[in-house]
Amino acid sequence: MLSRVAILQHAIKLAKSMPLDQISMVQLARDFGVAPGLIHYYLGGRDQLVSGVLNDYYRQRVGALPSLTGDWRADVEGIARLSFEVAVENPGVSIYVASHNRFRLFQDVEPGETDYGMEFFNRMTSAIMQGGFTAEQVALGYHLIAQYLVSASMAEASRQLPAYHQAFIEKKLESASELQYPGARFVSKAFSRLSSDSAFEEGLRITLDGIEAWKRQSRQPLRKSRDKAA
């Protein structure tokens, strides 16, 4: 039976195999065997389609999270790992979030519905707060972690990791002159085998080590001064 929920569930399923921005109202109408006007009637416009899919994406992130423990780093690591898993399972949404601004976090929900983007934002910032950081540090910490998750998720969703192209990369680097490109030759095998299995955890560790250092140094994150125009 055609309904707003049925349409969104179908779009969510499609986003597991194709970019969200390529899912059109016309395609949805064709899949349901109805006129496009009926899709608009039940769902609204394209904004409602995109936000509905993204809200479910964040629902998946938030839904499996345990309660905060008081250990900021352990909690952030758990949230980040689960977020990455959900992103990998929904490549069409991950690609959208990496390339669009609209609805990438906060959602346009119906009255009485939960904005799971807001829920996720609150959970992550609350987790970081447990470390005793200032508001400025929590804000920047969230931003850095979110940007890392977007980058790592996009790389996996788009199959950009070297391991996906191992044979080509290794052959290319091994054929380079060792005299002219010593660095490239040195890492040829190691680089060509890099995958998310190791890269994600190491990138997360480096990011959180940097945030943790703010507290040890008992100061605000460094801000680059800007010279005033003469």
Measured torsion, CA atoms of residues 140, 144, 149, 150, in degrees rounded to the nearest 10: 90
Instruction: For residues 125 and 139, give the distance between their C-alpha atoms in angstroms, rounded to a whole number.
Output: 7
Residues 6+ apart with CB under 8 A from 217: none
Query: Which 8-state DSSP code applies to residue 218?
Result: T
Task: Give the CATH superfamily of 4-126.
Answer: Tetracycline Repressor, domain 2 (1.10.357.10)
Instruction: Tell me if 200 sits within 8 A of 152, measured CB to CB.
Output: yes
Using alpha carbons only, what angle is made at residue 61 by residues 56 and 64, rounded to the nearest 5 degrees?
115
Angstrom CA distances, 57 to 105, 130, 159, 195, stand at 10, 25, 20, 24
Q: Is residue 225 pLDDT above 60, yes or no?
A: no
Query: In whole angstroms, what is the distance from residue 170 CA to residue 125 CA?
Result: 41
Please determine, for residue 221, whether its predicted confidence score (pLDDT) is greater than 60.
Answer: no
Paired tokens of 228: 């005033």
Residue 176 pLDDT level (bands cut at 50, 70, 90): very high
Q: How far apart (Å, rounded) are the C-alpha atoms in residues 174 and 179?
A: 12
Domain ranges of the chain: 4-126
Position 9 scores a pLDDT of 95
Q: What per-residue confidence (pLDDT) applies to 230?
A: 43
Give the pLDDT mean for 11-39.
94
Cβ-based neighbour number of residue 206 at 10 Å: 10
State the chain's mean pLDDT as an integer: 93
* Cα dihedral 156, 159, 165, 169 sign: negative
Q: How far apart are alpha carbons 163 and 200 in whole angstroms?
A: 13
* Residue 161 CB contacts under 8 Å (≥ 6 apart), including other chains: 155, 194, 195, 196, 199
d(CA 172, CA 188): 8
What does the pLDDT look like over 105-157, one tens digit per residue? Answer: 999 998 999 999 999 999 999 999 999 999 999 999 999 999 999 999 999 99
Q: How far apart are CA 79 and CA 222, in angstroms?
A: 26
